[in-house]
Amino acid sequence: MNIFARLKFADIHSHQAIKEGFVSSIKQGRIAHAQMFIGREGNGALGLAVAYAQYASCLDRGEHDSCGICSSCIKYQNLVHPDLHFSFPIYGADVNCDEFINDFRTALLADPLLTINSWFTSLNAENKKPNIPIKECRNIIRKLALKPYESEFKVLIIWLPEYLGKEGNVLLKLLEEPPANTLFILVTENQESILSTIISRTQFTRIPSYSYEEINQYLVEKNFANIDLARNAALMAEGNLSKAIQLSSEIENPQFDDFRQWLLDCYQGNVSKIISDMDAYTDKGKEGLKLFLNYGVHLLRSSLLVRHRPENNKLTESELEFANKLSKFIHIGNISQIYDGFNKAIFEIDRNGSVKLILINLSLKLKNCLRMPEPYKTN
Ligand SMILES: [Zn+2]
């Protein structure tokens, strides 16, 4: 399974039956135009909504998943497809979601299990009141009145419509008679607080919370925790995978020192040092090396967010200190190349490529990426 924040079906943990149901209905052209995904926080529903829309829009659909390489998928995977729109809770009254969209894309790509708390923490807005204001509702109506740019249809994912309040009424007409070629997906954690008039106009899919076994398996496979710790975290998380990851990160990861040293060597272009340390990496074995690289991605991804969310970062103290330094070198201009480099390395290790060569190639790639300047830098 791909560990990176690409949001194909394969990237969303578990939920096999639901994915199969989605795939089969899309293949048969049975796409309800107003849908609601209902379930509790940390269940992967927002990621599923993106995966659903990506599959429906894919130009070369596979049997079980979108192709990941057509022009539509590539834009979907960076959440920049011109026919993919998001509405989500923000703060302030006279604002719309377009003003927050870059932050939202970054937050969701870094954490597909985004929660309202982690989203607001990433905005440095922990004390602000989340809402989807009337200005955003008007923005939605305006956007959906336009024709699709590239796809057969436009997609609007409304994450946490429970924050719409009374303003949601202006959307009712849209949901009742959606403009041609429009797909609404509402992703809610609390259907009781949504206007019943909105609920009655949508087709439901219930997204269950993760089971204890699913959480346990995820934590161990992704190297968030060893077996003992994963068991405890899975028990305490009560089906919330996001919470489980946070709980399990409260102890130091044994990979940390090795990874920090390796990344410093990469940045300095110290290839001879990397080669002379090679035994330490190859001794980890194929599976150990994959865990090492997986852990690295987790740390790099956290570094991308750490500038904005110093408090809710799922890192230990020494990881946080390192991530703070690293965050100056990780940005929207290089993160996807870095992810691709790790992905390729893990793939090649799986195919029994030469570990030495794979690591040297990745090291050189990282050296180049980490030295790229940050584009569109703002304060
Ligand atoms: Zn595709």
How far, in Å, from the CA of 308 to the mean position of ligand 1? 32
How far, in Å, from the CA of 191 to the mean position of ligand 1? 32
Is position 137 within any domain?
yes
Angle between helices 212-221 and 241-248 (to 10 degrees): 50
**Amino acid identity, residue 76?**
Y
How far, in Å, from the CA of 67 to the mean position of ligand 1? 4
Predicted confidence at residue 298, as pLDDT, reads 82
Q: Mean pLDDT in the chain?
A: 88
**Amino acid identity, residue 265?**
D
- Greater confidence (55 vs 281) lies with 55
How far, in Å, from the CA of 61 to the mean position of ligand 1? 6
- Our CA angle for 138, 144, 150, nearest 5°, is 145
Is position 202 within any domain?
yes
> How many Cα neighbours within 13 Å face the side chain of 132?
27
How far, in Å, from the CA of 182 to the mean position of ligand 1? 19
Is position 4 within any domain?
no
pLDDT at 2 over 50: no
Predicted confidence at residue 233, as pLDDT, reads 84
Number of other residues whose CB lies within 10 A of the CB of residue 148: 17
State whether 227 and 280 are in the same domain: no
Residue range 86-99: average pLDDT? 95
- Greater confidence (168 vs 104) lies with 104
Domain of 262, CATH number, reads 1.20.272
b/e code 227-242 from CB counts within 10 Å (16+ = b): eebbbebbeebebbbb
Predicted confidence at residue 113, as pLDDT, reads 94
How far, in Å, from the CA of 50 to the mean position of ligand 1? 13
Predicted confidence at residue 5, as pLDDT, reads 62
How does pLDDT run across 345-368, given as a tens digit for each residue?
999 998 988 999 999 999 999 999
How far, in Å, from the CA of 115 to the mean position of ligand 1? 27
State whether 39 and 153 are in the same domain: yes
As a three-state string, the secondary structure of 190-250 is CHHHCCHHHHCCCEEEECCCCCHHHHHHHHHHCCCCCHHHHHHHHHHHCCCHHHHHHHHCC
Domain that holds residue 313: 256-370
How far, in Å, from the CA of 83 to the mean position of ligand 1? 14
Residue range 242-270: average pLDDT? 84
Contacts of 311 (CB under 8 A, 6+ apart): 121, 126
pTM of this structure? 0.70
Domain boundary among 221, 248, 275: 248
Cα distances from 369 to residues 329, 335, 372, in angstroms, run: 9, 8, 5
Predicted confidence at residue 253, as pLDDT, reads 66
Is position 375 within any domain?
no
Which stretches does DSSP call E strand in the chain? 34-38, 84-87, 154-159, 182-188, 203-206
Cα–Cα distance for residue pair 332/304, rounded to 1 Å: 8
57 confidence band (pLDDT: 50, 70, 90): very high
State whether 199 and 53 are in the same domain: yes
Cα–Cα distance for residue pair 188/190, rounded to 1 Å: 6
How far, in Å, from the CA of 289 to the mean position of ligand 1? 30
How far, in Å, from the CA of 8 to the mean position of ligand 1? 10
How far, in Å, from the CA of 274 to the mean position of ligand 1? 37
How far, in Å, from the CA of 2 to the mean position of ligand 1? 16
How far, in Å, from the CA of 156 to the mean position of ligand 1? 19
State whether 278 and 180 are in the same domain: no
State whether 46 and 80 are in the same domain: yes
State whether 142 and 241 are in the same domain: no
How far, in Å, from the CA of 17 to the mean position of ligand 1? 21
Is position 379 within any domain?
no
pLDDT at 342 over 60: yes
pLDDT at 4 over 50: no
pLDDT at 257 over 70: yes
Is position 2 within any domain?
no
Is position 377 within any domain?
no
How far, in Å, from the CA of 65 to the mean position of ligand 1? 9
How far, in Å, from the CA of 16 to the mean position of ligand 1? 20
How far, in Å, from the CA of 213 to the mean position of ligand 1? 32
Contacts of 180 (CB under 8 A, 6+ apart): none
How far, in Å, from the CA of 58 to the mean position of ligand 1? 4
How far, in Å, from the CA of 19 to the mean position of ligand 1? 16
State whether 163 and 113 are in the same domain: yes
Domain of 52, CATH number, reads 3.40.50.300
Distance between first and last Cα of the chain: 36
91 confidence band (pLDDT: 50, 70, 90): very high
Predicted confidence at residue 313, as pLDDT, reads 62
How does pLDDT run across 269-291, given as a tens digit for each residue?
888 888 888 888 888 788 778 88
For 90, which DSSP code? B
How far, in Å, from the CA of 145 to the mean position of ligand 1? 26
State whether 75 and 217 are in the same domain: no
Which pairing describes strands 154-159 and 182-188: parallel, antiparallel, or unpaired?
parallel
Beta bridge partners of 188: 38
Pick the most confident of 45-49, 219-223, 333-337: 45-49
Predicted confidence at residue 1, as pLDDT, reads 28
How far, in Å, from the CA of 177 to the mean position of ligand 1? 29
- Greater confidence (179 vs 134) lies with 134
How far, in Å, from the CA of 26 to the mean position of ligand 1? 14
- As a whole-number percent, the residues of the chain with pLDDT over 70 amount to 94
How far, in Å, from the CA of 33 to the mean position of ligand 1? 21
- Dihedral sign (CA 95, 97, 100, 104): positive
How far, in Å, from the CA of 76 to the mean position of ligand 1? 9
Tell me the two tokens of residue 265. Answer: 């060597």
Predicted confidence at residue 183, as pLDDT, reads 94
How far, in Å, from the CA of 72 to the mean position of ligand 1? 6
State whether 97 and 187 are in the same domain: yes
State whether 176 and 281 are in the same domain: no
State whether 49 and 191 are in the same domain: yes
Predicted confidence at residue 277, as pLDDT, reads 86
Domains of the chain: total: 3
Cα–Cα distance for residue pair 373/332, rounded to 1 Å: 10
Is position 290 within any domain?
yes
State whether 276 and 183 are in the same domain: no
3 confidence band (pLDDT: 50, 70, 90): very low
How does pLDDT run across 187-218, given as a tens digit for each residue?
999 988 887 888 888 999 999 999 999 999 99
How far, in Å, from the CA of 161 to the mean position of ligand 1? 28
Contacts of 354 (CB under 8 A, 6+ apart): none
How does pLDDT run across 140-181, given as a tens digit for each residue?
999 888 889 999 999 999 999 999 877 777 887 888 888 888
What is residue 153's three-state secondary structure?
coil
pLDDT at 250 over 80: no
pLDDT at 303 over 90: no
**Amino acid identity, residue 107?**
A
